[in-house]
Chain A
Amino acid sequence: MAEKTERVLMKGNEAIAEAAIRAGCRHYFGYPITPQTEIAAYMAKKMPKTGGVFLQAESEIASINMVYGAAAAGMRVMTSSSSPGISLKSEGLSYIAGSDVPAFVVNVQRGGPGLGGIQPSQSDYFQATKGGGHGDYRMIVLAPASVQEMASLTVKGFNLADKYLMTTMILADGTIGQMMEPITFEDVQVEAYDKPWALTGTKGQRKHNIVNSLYLKSDELERKNFERYARYKVVEENEVLYEEYGMEDAEICVVAFGIAARVAKNAVAAARKEGVKAGLIRPITLWPFPKKVLRQAADQVKAFVSVELNMGQMIEDVRLATECRKPVSLCNRAGGMIPSPGQVLDSIREAQKGVC
């Protein structure tokens, strides 16, 4: 038998940490919070052995500003947290966006709002895809649905951040963070980008660089915004990722990401067994959102069902992408609860009934 790449059993959180190190990240700044603390724990153990820096900051706000600093110096740098912690980091995320430096941030979501709970949730969809911090900016938002994707999207996330000078956020949830699945690290492809803008010291050889988000002249600030959005447009055109399942002949299209998509996949398979032609579109990039494939699906299917662990957030993007040409219903749980495949199946059946 040919030699196989070894499969190892890892928690999703650990997979992110290991993948980040393999992607060349040598700076981790964080502050503990359930359910993502394994990332920090793994980094604390492994990062010093790679010659890198693990630092538990005094707060979330401190840690995101350390990320800002290391990113400005051209380093591959990351932080991780869970929902309330990401709120605290949001000011820093806005500054990082306004300074056009690459950063990698992980949100292993828990139920909210407020301190909420510690069980899995997807209720930071709006925060991740529409802003969170102030000002006009975007982040590339990646939504893994398996431990393997926690690793592969981490590597991709660092590459995209450097490529587009943006923050890439992994938007995971407590389930994917805590669960273990076998993974391999065979597909780690680190892309290297020149960073002539980085604050590395002039050594008397070049003009000094400035990394800054303050532009008091309105016309200059406007120009910066337009330049940034031209870059975002390229991301929207080139970096959309999604998975389709059973969509070839689907009449009901389920849309779900992350752990919700895993549950939805079971429900789609069950629906097909009883003769309902269901399919699944799983956005992997939440921003840029896979608008085109959804718009095309609207020509084919009779109805959409958005499955989410929140009160209905992504459903707005589904309606926008499909231009409300077909009915879109919501199948959801919130506060740390997860819909069962049975609940999703019921929603598929109802959608089918509604359009028959």
Chain B
Amino acid sequence: MKTTQILIAGFGGQGILFAGKFLAYKGLLEELQVSWLPSYGPEMRGGTANCNVILSDDPVGSPIITDPDVLIVMNLPSLQKYVDSVVSGGQIYVDSTLISEKVTREDVEVFYIPATQMANDAGVPTLANMVMMGHVLKNNPELTFDGTEATVSKLVPPIKAQLVELNMKALQAGRDYQG
């Protein structure tokens, strides 16, 4: 692995920052250098939230991502805002339950996942973010699904241990989705 710059964006409340934390912890457990930078402005309160995660073999320079290798979007404004910033040859993951628009760029790989619908169907309606993550881990060549449960266990406080299982359910659903 070299350096992978991942930008996750959506509405406040969709678990955008949590999804980013998940990736950052996963990198940490894989002995990578990582940085996690959240948006913390007024947009957090119901507007757009985004999160910059960098995973690298080398020390991370600027934690601010301007040209992501991977873009994960969970609402239309975020797709419109960031679609052109993705590097050529990069990947875009779209929650197609919430975004009906298609990406017109042809120099990027695009994955449409009905994550919100799938999370509802799986009985974990608040975990569409983790459905997205499951699909990212499966399809990004720099990432792997191995060690996912250990990562989730690290993120969930012991008092809420039952959430590990639910998160894994969402992650597995995303991994198994054949788009």
Residues of A within 8 A of B (CB): 7, 9, 34-35, 118-119, 174-175, 178-182, 259, 262-263, 265-266, 269, 338, 340-342
Interface residues of B in 41-85 (CB under 8 A from A): 41-42, 60-64, 66
Bound Cα distance from A338 to B24, whole angstroms: 23
Q: Tell me the count of chain B residues lying within 8 A, CB to CB, of chain A.
A: 19
B interface, by DSSP: helix, strand, loop or mixed?
A: mixed
**Which residue in chain B gives the minimum CB-CB distance to A9?**
B28
B positions within 8 Å CB-CB of A? 21, 24-25, 28, 33-38, 40-42, 60-64, 66
Q: Could you list some 16 contacts between A and B, CB below 8 A? A: A35-B40, A118-B41, A119-B41, A179-B36, A181-B36, A259-B62, A259-B63, A259-B64, A262-B61, A262-B63, A262-B64, A263-B62, A265-B61, A340-B64, A341-B66, A342-B66
How far is A181 from B36 in the complex, measured between Cα atoms in Å? 7
In the complex formed, the residue of B with least CB distance to A340 is: B66
Residues on A with C-beta less than 8 A from B28 are 7, 9, 182
A338 cross-chain contacts in B, Cβ below 8 A: 64
How many whole Å from B49's CB to the nearest CB in chain A?
13
Which A residues are CB-close (under 8 A) to B24? 9, 180
Q: A180 to B52, alpha carbons, bound, how many Å?
A: 10
Bound complex: CA of A335 vs CA of B66, how far in Å?
Answer: 18
Residue of B nearest to A342 (CB): B66
Q: How far is the CB of A151 from chain B (nearest CB, A)?
A: 15
A341→B34 contact, CB < 8 A: no
Shortest Cβ distance from residue B98 to the other chain A in the assembled complex, whole angstroms:
26
Chain B residue numbers with a CB within 8 Å of A178 are 37-38, 40
Q: Please measure, in the bound complex, the distance between the C-alpha atom of A204 and the C-alpha atom of B60, giving whole angstroms.
A: 58
A181 to B25, CA, bound (A): 10
B37 A341 Cβ-Cβ under 8 A: no
- B63 to A182, Cβ gap below 8 A? no
Q: Chain B residue with minimal CB distance to A269?
A: B61
For B40, the chain A residues whose CB sits under 8 A away are 34-35, 118, 174, 178
Min Cβ gap A338→B in Å is: 6
